[in-house]
A and B are shown apart, each in its own frame.
Chain A
Amino acid sequence: RKEVEQDPGPFNVPEGATVAFNCTYSNSASQSFFWYRQDCRKEPKLLMSVYSSGNEDGRFTAQLNRASQYISLLIRDSKLSDSATYLCVVNMGPGRRALTFGSGTRLQVQP
């Protein structure tokens, strides 16, 4: 089983749609959680951190469910520019300083 699992997609949605991605992680001791965005042939960039109480940044909402060990990302009012791969990223806990990435979920927003 992978340490961080995501549905690879692709998710094809029309502009203006709401889309949600989920991600599960294997280590219950994981300490911190992020969503990164990666455009085609570019490096990953931080989209947002994920906090226990849930957090929002404009059209993006991230939630964490520690009991079920999953993280979600909700994108409202999708824009063409949201088309990218969204990477679920976890710091796996004590002794593991590096971030562990999921394989990513590809989103294609269509006009």
Chain B
Amino acid sequence: DTGVSQDPRHKITKRGQNVTFRCDPISEHNRLYWYRQTLGQGPEFLTYFQNEAQLEKSRLLSDRFSAERPKGSFSTLEIQRTEQGDSAMYLCASSAHRGADTEAFFGQGTRLTVV
């Protein structure tokens, strides 16, 4: 499968615990995005990488959230001290660097439930 891969698909955690999600983009794509989606809403942008550089972060991204893309390939998103409001689907997407008019391919997401 050469699409965007996310792991795990589901995560249930207790409030206050830390969680980490992984995203493997399409191999030739140098752009990688993290989004969060809650029921009835569209995906909300969290952060964006071009290669290993984190170039853009949303104001939604509190200091409990951190993302890395150490070698410009896979990326991790960590949430520290999880809160119930963090429960959502976390989507990763990747795209090739071909200007503004380029398709983003999404992974199937990691569904986080904080109890």
Which A residues fall within an 8 A CB radius of B?
4, 8, 31-32, 34, 42-46, 49, 87, 91, 96-104
Size class of B's contact patch? 20 to 34
* CA A50 to CA B48, docked complex, whole Å: 23
* CA A68 to CA B106, docked complex, whole Å: 30
Most buried by A among B33, B42, B55, B106: B42
The smallest beta-carbon distance between B53 and chain A, in angstroms, is 11
Q: Does B107 contact A (CB under 8 A)?
A: yes
Query: Could you list 21 examples of A-B contacts with CB < 8 Å?
Result: A32-B101, A34-B103, A42-B108, A43-B106, A44-B91, A44-B106, A45-B106, A46-B103, A46-B104, A49-B101, A49-B103, A97-B48, A97-B55, A97-B56, A98-B48, A99-B104, A100-B45, A101-B42, A101-B44, A101-B45, A103-B41
- Chain A residues whose CB sits within 8 angstroms of the CB of B55 once the complex forms: 97
* CA A21 to CA B96, docked complex, whole Å: 29
8 A Cβ contacts from B8-63 to A? 31, 33, 35, 40-45, 48, 50, 55-56
* CA A98 to CA B29, docked complex, whole Å: 14
- Chain A residues whose CB sits within 8 angstroms of the CB of B48 once the complex forms: 97-98
- Chain A residues whose CB sits within 8 angstroms of the CB of B50 once the complex forms: 97
- Chain B residues whose CB sits within 8 angstroms of the CB of A103 once the complex forms: 40-42
* CA A42 to CA B45, docked complex, whole Å: 17
- Chain B residues whose CB sits within 8 angstroms of the CB of A87 once the complex forms: 42-43
The smallest beta-carbon distance between A107 and chain B, in angstroms, is 15
- Chain A residues whose CB sits within 8 angstroms of the CB of B33 once the complex forms: 98-99
